[in-house]
Amino acid sequence: MKQRWEKYILGVIDGKKRGLFPRLTAGGLMLLSYGFRTGVHCRNWAHDQGLVACYHSPVPVVVSVGNIVAGGTGKTPVTLKLAEELSKDFKLAILSRGYRSPAEKRETPLVLSRGKGPEYTASYCGDEPYLLASRAPDASVYVGRNRVKASVLAAQQGAEIILLDDGMQHRRLARDFEIIVVDGLDPFGKGYFLPRGLLRESPKALKKADLIIVNHVGDEKQFEAVVGELRRFTKAPIAGATPRISSIENAAGEKVSSLSGVKVGLFCGIANPKRFRSLVEEQGVTVVSELCTSDHILPTDKTLRKFAERCQQMGAEYLVCTEKDLVKLKDDFECALPIVSVNIRLKLLSGSSEWESLMEKIKERVITK
């Protein structure tokens, strides 16, 4: 029921739902949006005026990766790219909320990884933290909604750099650098604050950025058009990027050479399943059916098994999902088709010099602070 309601609301936000009831719904959402926008402005004003305490970590450098809209901009690949580069030279800690996981509700943050991979299951700590701990094994990963407490733990364990995953709205923890990820296909979240649109921060907040990454860039013309829109709000350096499939793996972590020409069923629980499907289809794959759930939510075992049987009857040879979906599956889960995940990494298409310049500033700050 909840997932159906979320799907309906997204249809209203996108303008795909027509008729009297969707128009009434949009009006109600707009009223709620005014309240949300007022709350955001009041929170930011209180922080800007120093009325709310801001904790300054003793860790030399804190880098926040965030966005001004809800979901689907591609923050995780950006965080992974940062982790892969910075963990080569420094002791790195990643702070992640663990959205919709039991670990999120803990009073004391969970130490998911101590630089040797995840020590807990994805079902307990959340799919994104588990993925970060798996793909950036040299980093320590801390999970919990209280980022200040997590930063204290990271400092006690000798972190030199903290990456604050999805940290733009978490202003109780001071940061030295702010990286903002923008969706190149919808930079301003339909132009409205939640829940009428997807904005959770005013576009004016882009002026705080040390680097803006425009993700899902198709070509130079599209990138320049988005840059033109962003320049109304910021003079920050801007880079263009796009997600790319780096590899395809089965549940055992073994590489699958290619799925070109193969029929598959697709399932995922992410914010933007349409883009995931497009990325998969670019590999020459034929998707015979798809099963999409809300972000961070996995279908039940029974539902997934029935889906696999249906896809098999339609000629599919595999079920395909994202890395975040694969890590949520039980180790002993079995169904009619083998399951593979596509590993997605960030590819910079423009602004490489801007990226390198920021990396040098971060590294210099660690050394000199």
| pLDDT digits 0-9 by tens, 3-18 | 777 778 888 888 878 8
Domain boundaries, the chain: 2-48, 61-237+351-368, 244-345
Q: Locate tokens 């591609």: which residue?
A: 74
Query: What's the pLDDT at 20?
Result: 86
Distance CA 44, CA 21 (A): 34
Could you tell me the end-to-end alpha-carbon distance of the chain, in angstroms, rounded to an integer?
52
Distance CA 171, CA 167 (A): 8
Residue 331 has pLDDT above 90, yes or no: no
Residue 97 carries which side chain, given as an amino acid letter?
R
Cβ atoms of 162 and 154 closer than 8 Å? yes
Residue 167 has pLDDT above 90, yes or no: yes
Share of the chain above pLDDT 90, in %: 85
CATH for 244-345, among 3.40.630, 3.30.720, 3.30.450, 3.40.50? 3.40.50
Reported as a pLDDT band with limits 50, 70 and 90, residue 1 is low
Query: What's the pLDDT at 2?
Result: 66
Share of the chain above pLDDT 70, in %: 99
Reported as a pLDDT band with limits 50, 70 and 90, residue 240 is very high
Residue 251 has pLDDT above 90, yes or no: no
Name the more confident of 22 and 160.
160
Query: What's the pLDDT at 18?
Result: 84
Maximum average pLDDT range among 4-18, 33-47, 323-337: 33-47
Lowest mean pLDDT across 14-18, 164-168, 173-177: 14-18
- Name the E strands within 251-352: 263-268, 286-292, 318-322, 339-350
Reported as a pLDDT band with limits 50, 70 and 90, residue 104 is very high
Q: Per-residue pLDDT tens for 106-131?
A: 999 999 999 999 999 999 999 999 99
Name the DSSP letter for residue 302.
H
- Between helix 127-135 and helix 75-86 the angle, nearest 10°, is 30
Average pLDDT of the residues in 59-71: 95
According to CATH, the topology of domain 61-237+351-368 is: Rossmann fold (3.40.50)
Distance CA 162, CA 131 (A): 17
Q: Mean pLDDT across the chain, nearest whole number?
A: 94
Residue 103 carries which side chain, given as an amino acid letter?
A
**C-alpha separations of 240 from 33, 217, 252, 351 in Å:** 30, 6, 33, 6
Q: Per-residue pLDDT tens for 298-308?
A: 899 999 999 99
**Cβ neighbours of residue 319 closer than 8 Å, sequence gap 6 or more:** 264, 265, 266, 267, 304, 307, 308, 311, 335, 337, 338, 339, 340
Query: What's the pLDDT at 245?
Result: 93
